[in-house]
Amino acid sequence: MKKDQHSTKETFFQKVRRKISGTKVDLPEKSQAPDEEKSHMLELFEAVKKSPGHITGWDFDRAFDFIERYPDTSEAEILIGQMYATSGQQLKGLSYASAIRIIETMPGHAGRESIIKGIYKLEPDYIQELRSDVIAGILKIIPDHPLAENLTRSLATKNLTNAYDFVTTNPTNTYTKQLIKAMFERDPNISLLLFQEKMDHPNASSIFEGIYSITRQSDIEKLTPNAVLFVLDIAPDHPKIQEMIRVLVEQNYIKAYEFTKMHSDHALADELKKQILKRKPELEKLFNAE
């Protein structure tokens, strides 16, 4: 659901659930839409159901899209009521995206348990077809999914930002540690930069594990100066720190020089100075003048 409409739709869902339970509901006043817009809305409403009769799992994607677009309409109210009344075999054809939305936004839905069972049966080959937000939803809902490694790796691969958001908003989730590992495997440099301000994370030990796992030469060569400076700051005993220093000096010897100037007592200050002078011998006068 779009963020700017979240609170409105949430209230709307609550009102519909109260109506289903028998409580009187005052729906929001309908806005008077222009005839052309109303006609288009009705066309979309009629197009929600793929086949005549009761709404089925095949129709839920279109139903959710309609409700998101027209949350405060009687047509949306009708669809929500029909969606709540859909269960069992009628849910056949339900997408994983809609399955997650049902569980997240429609508590008490009759098909909840069967939907969760279906998510447990997710096949490995199909994970690559899922959007990153859907994978994140699965990880939030299912604490012991048999394909946990596949799911966390796929989330980190598909969208590193969504993976980071999951880790920061769900710090104690059972998959967070595994996802941090997958993020560093996916892109060590970006992961370092993302976690710079999150070293107070409950899973900080996993972040350190990710940092110390950066040992492939190809990954080290891709590290940006800021990423290397971060490692120098928090993990100066990294097994590949010499290679990282070389990369730092080659990419930005000025930042390397500034680091030595500001952290003259750093354990690796002399090594940094040595590498800088090897790269730029003319800077020796600056070092001697200090």
User: pLDDT digits over 9-37, tens only?
Assistant: 445 455 555 544 444 445 445 444 567 88
User: Minimal CA–CA distance to 211: which of 202, 233, 200, 225?
Assistant: 233
Cα maximum dimension of the chain: 86
Cβ–Cβ < 8 Å for 127, 151: yes
- pLDDT for 290 equals 61
- pLDDT for 33 equals 52
Contacts of 44 (CB under 8 A, 6+ apart): 62, 66, 69, 70
Residue 280 backbone class (left: φ over 0; alpha: ψ -120 to 50; beta: rest) = beta
In the chain, which ranges are continuous DSSP H helix? 6-20, 35-48, 60-69, 74-84, 96-105, 112-120, 124-127, 132-141, 148-158, 160-169, 176-186, 188-194, 204-212, 217-221, 225-234, 241-251, 253-262, 269-279, 284-289
In whole angstroms, what separates CA 35 from the centre of its chain?
Answer: 40
How large is the average pLDDT for residues 78-84?
A: 94
Burial 217-228 (b: 16+ CB within 10 A, else e): eebbeebbbebb
Q: Looking at the predicted structure, is the pLDDT value of residue 101 above 60?
A: yes
For the stretch 47-68, pLDDT in tens is 898 777 789 999 999 999 999 9
- pLDDT for 14 equals 57
Dihedral angle over CA of 212, 214, 217, 221, nearest 10:
-110
Percent of the chain scored above 70 by pLDDT? Answer: 88
- pLDDT for 51 equals 75
- pLDDT for 49 equals 83
Cβ–Cβ < 8 Å for 50, 56: yes
For the stretch 243-268, pLDDT in tens is 999 999 999 999 999 999 899 999 99
What CA–CA distance (Å, rounded) separates 113 from 116?
5
Please name the residue that has the structure tokens 């289903």: 20
Cβ–Cβ < 8 Å for 242, 275: no
One-letter amino acid of 96: Y
What CA–CA distance (Å, rounded) separates 244 from 177?
25
In this prediction the pTM is 0.81
